[in-house]
Structures are given as C-alpha cells and as structure tokens.
Structure 1
C-alpha cells in the first residue's frame, strides 16, 4: 500500500525532499545572482537564462512547501482556493517556460544569423517585452480556463497527473484547452524547432568560428527544451490515459517531474555555458580559499 509506506518512512522522505528543495533554491539562485552581479553577463541570452531559472524557483515554491507538509501529515488535504492557486501557478509557470525558451531561440537566431543587426534588434525594450509577454500570456489564458472549471484532487499536487476535471461546459473548455495548449506550447515549440533548424543550416555553411559559437550557445538550450518537452508530454498524455496508469507509476512519474526538472536547468547552464561556468569556478575557488584558514586554525 503506497499510503502506508509513505507514512512509515515519512521522516526519511521529508529529509530527502527538503534537501532537494534547498538544493534547487541554492543552485538556481546562485546562477541568477552571478548574472545579476557581473556586467559581462548583462546580455540578452543570460537575462533570459536568469528568467528561466527564476521560473524554476517559482515552480518549486509552488509545489514543495505543500508537498513537505503532506509528507508529515496524517491526512493529505488541500482547500479548494489553494488548489486553484497551485494549479494556476503550476500551469502558468509551465507555459512561461516554453515562451522563454522561444525568446532564447529568437535571441540565438539573431545573434548567429544577423550579427551586425543584433544590438539594434535585441535592445532593452525587446528584452522587456519578451519577458513580460512570456509571463503574462500564459497567466491570462490559464486563469480563464480555471474560472471555467471545478476540480477533484486525487494526488500530491494540482496538475494533470493528480486531478480530474469536472466542468459544466466540457466541450467549450476542451476547445479552449486546445487553443491554450497551441498558444503556450505547440506554436512556441514549432518556432523553436524552425529557428534552430535555420541556425543549423546557416552554421553548416559558415566558418568554423560560427559553428563553434552555435554549438556552445545552442546545445544547452536544446537539451533543456528536449528535457522539458518530455515532461510536458507526460503531463498532457496522463490525463488522456489516466485510467490505464497505475497509481504507483503515476506517483513515481509525478515525483520525477517535481524533483528532477528544477535541478536540470541550473546544472546544464552552469556546466555548458562557458561564461557562467567560468564565474562558478571562480566563486567556488574563492569559497575554498576563504575556508582554508578556518580549517588550519581548527587544526
């Protein structure tokens, strides 16, 4: 019985989940702070990366506090307004991630394919407009769909994998849901694929330096996109196949989404983005040098 197993090892689960939560907050916040404090990282590409990592922090703050509370509770319950807020925040941040990845794809396209026009096109106003739209469009569209529905909670948090929709006007909501999905996921995905295909074609016919630049800056974005698309596909499909998926398998997959994804972005960008990796190495080197005198004094 999954419930009895959860209750039996609840303190162990709490420590593991809490540790992961702190790790997620620290990893994402460290890179955001590095981008904020170093002027050579005040470029559109790094600003969009910071926005993506802030999105991961918000995503984790939506899920983890309630999850930690449920692990220690005898009975896992949630109020209707809080469930609405959690579900809305979850899907708004999910939609924002796709739009932010689309903005990053556009930034890379202009940088590699139109380098002379890059400072003019990717100015501060363009960056602000992309960031505002990436957060506002999903929030507005998800808010409308949530107003149209009621929810019955069936798992650890309010998303496709753990609740079933009961709607008064199911056909209208189904059509609207498809429109929202197209706007915040499918069309941005098509645009990203088209953009990186164009970058690949132009890079293939360009000099070695352009190929190297394209590989260094585009590969991390593609890895993040591929990883995130798999999780979103699971989240969408699980609603359609809900009756065919066992509770244990659904719980395991949901935990993978909650635990794995928010750590993936900072690890990829920290390791694969040359300038961010350089600043991270300096930071850890400084911390090591600071700790050495303390260790020597204790000895």
Structure 2
C-alpha cells in the first residue's frame, strides 16, 4: 500500500491520445488565454489610469479582473504544457498549488460579487448616504478582506484534505481536482465528508447571503420608486446577476462531476464542462462590464485611441 510520502506525482488521464490535434488544441488554448489576459489587463490599467473611475464600483471591478487573470493563470499554462506531454504527469507540489489557486479564485469571485451587490444596494437604497458609507478606505478594506478570507479558507481546505494516506495517483481530468484527489485516499472518514460539505457552504452559501439580501432590497425599492430608478437599478445589476448565474452554473458542473459517476457522459463533453468556469467567466466579466458600462467603455476608447 502506498502512502502519502510515496505519491510524488499525479497522472491526468482525461487528455487521452490526442495525436496531431495537440497543435490545434494548443493554438486554441493559447489564443483564448491571451484574450483573457489582455482583456482583463486592459480594463485594470484603464481603471487605474482614469481617476474618474476611482469609485467603489470600479474598484470592485478591478479586483474582479485581477482575479480573472489569477484564476486563468492557475489553469491555462498547465493545459498548454500538457498538450505536448506523453505521460500527462503533474508533480504533487504543482497539483496542490493548482488546487489552491482554483479554490481561492472561486472563493474570491463569489465574495467579490457579494461586495459588488452590497455596493449596488447602498447606491440604490441609500443614494444620499452612499459617499459617506462607501468611502475609498472602506472599499479597499472590503477588497482586502475578500482576498485574505479566500486565501485563509483555501489553506484550511487543503490542510484538512491532505492529511490522509493516498492509495493512487490517477485523476480523470485535465487538471488537478480536490474532490478526485480526496477519492484517492485509502480511507475516507465521515469527518472528511462533513468538512467537504462545510467548506462548500462557506465558499458558496456564505457569500450568497449578502447577495440575496442586497438584490431583494433592491427589488423592493424598484417596485416603490420611479421608472428612472428602476432602469438605473436594472442596468447596473444585470451584469452582476448574469455573472453570478454563470459562476453558479460553472460551480455546479464542477461539483456534479467531482462527486458523482459521470462515465455515461461523452469524454469531450465532460472535459468542456469541467473547465467551463475557467473558459467562460474570465471572458464574460470584461465583456459584461467593459462593454455594458458606459464609463468604462468610454475610458477604454480614450485609452486605446490615446484620447483624453
């Protein structure tokens, strides 16, 4: 029986034998990653350079764009390197690091959307007190808390899930997955299953509380105010709601595949669903906010065309 000290690498079996298609896959993945990096980086630079965008909502968006780059970088370089690998092995250290980054990125995404929902709640429900409540210092403190909370939580998740003995090193995915690694344990206790449930609730359920509260309050205000206020609320909240729904769908696909037997699903579809979140969310965010919000759209035009 192998123990945890003997497992030095994991084998990612979902790649299969892709033959010459690896060149096509490599090109597509590289261009997609380049699109994600450039789109989010441009918006980060635009928000940083344009003082008119140094407002709470845009600072939260800047944090969101940074996280899109962070989360994508934890996956795409690994995918690119595996395209030309014959064994599709990943070291134990790199596997743990990838799991940590993906867990952290998902948590930051949810918490950031919660902070943005609260910002919209204050803006729409308490417009006269908005500048007093959402000061720059408070916004920066919220963003810092989001990142620290996510990093600390992910550290606890890994520490609780990697104290057991492993009896295998084969992962049926194109990246390292915490649940599939946990299933390689020689014995899984009820405590581990309970902790898995708790960490899932903390990651997804906890941020959903302020999100649900904020949008419920906004909805109530919309029914009680003028048509102009309704339109403002809809235009500012729609991108966040779409991002939340897309994020939740991605997390659902991921959790469903990791926890249940999905052998009946075609391999290609399983791979797409497993990386759906990292494929769509990092591109959806700059599209929804960069194109939908007029201030950012105009600032991008000025930045790219060198106009003041």
Q: TM-score, normalised by structure 2?
A: 0.86
Q: Which structure's residues are more often helix, by fraction?
A: 1
Specify the alignment match of 2:80 in structure 1.
68
Separation (CA, whole Å) in 1 of partners of 2:85 and 2:188? 35
Specify the alignment match of 2:161 in structure 1.
149
How far apart are 1:235 and its partner, in Å?
1.3
Change (3 A) 1:136 1:174: farther
Choose which of 273, 276, 285 in structure 1 pairs with 2:296.
276
Aligned residues: 286
Q: Deviations over 1:187-238 (max 9, x none)?
A: 2123212211210110221123322221221111111111111101111122
8 Å contact 2:68–2:282 — kept in the other structure? yes
8 Å contact 1:149–1:166 — kept in the other structure? no
Separation (CA, whole Å) in 2 of partners of 1:85 and 1:77? 15
Larger displacement relative to structure 2 (109-118 or 124-133) = 124-133
Choose which of 137, 141, 159 in structure 1 pairs with 2:177.
159
Specify the alignment match of 1:8 in structure 2.
20
8 Å contact 1:156–1:162 — kept in the other structure? no
How far apart are 1:124 and its partner, in Å?
2.3
Map 1:146-295 → 2, pairs under 5 A:
146-150=158-162, 152=169, 153-159=171-177, 163-167=181-185, 170-246=189-265, 247-284=267-304, 286=305
Q: Deviations over 1:45-85 (max 9, x none)?
A: 00001101100000111111111000112221101111011
Separation (CA, whole Å) in 1 of partners of 2:124 and 2:229? 7
8 Å contact 1:92–1:139 — kept in the other structure? yes
Separation (CA, whole Å) in 2 of partners of 1:101 and 1:245? 34
Specify the alignment match of 1:292 in structure 2.
none
Separation (CA, whole Å) in 2 of partners of 1:161 and 1:275? 42
Separation (CA, whole Å) in 1 of partners of 2:277 and 2:108? 16
Q: TM-score, normalised by structure 1?
A: 0.89
Change (3 A) 1:164 1:175: closer
- Cα-Cα RMSD: 2.1
Structure 2, gaps ≥5 residues long? 1-13
Larger displacement relative to structure 2 (12-21 or 131-140) = 131-140
Separation (CA, whole Å) in 2 of partners of 1:245 and 1:35? 46
How far apart are 1:245 and its partner, in Å?
4.7
How far apart are 1:174 and its partner, in Å?
2.0
Separation (CA, whole Å) in 2 of partners of 1:131 and 1:245? 42
Q: Which has the higher contact order (CA 8 A, sep 6+)?
A: 2
Larger displacement relative to structure 2 (246-255 or 185-194) = 246-255
Separation (CA, whole Å) in 2 of partners of 1:18 and 1:243? 28
Separation (CA, whole Å) in 2 of partners of 1:144 and 1:29? 30
8 Å contact 2:125–2:218 — kept in the other structure? yes
Change (3 A) 1:139 1:99: same
Separation (CA, whole Å) in 2 of partners of 1:241 and 1:136? 31
Separation (CA, whole Å) in 2 of partners of 1:240 and 1:156? 16
SS of the residue 1:156 aligns to? coil
Structure 1's consecutive aligned runs of 4 or more residues displaced over 4 angstroms after TM superposition are: 160-164
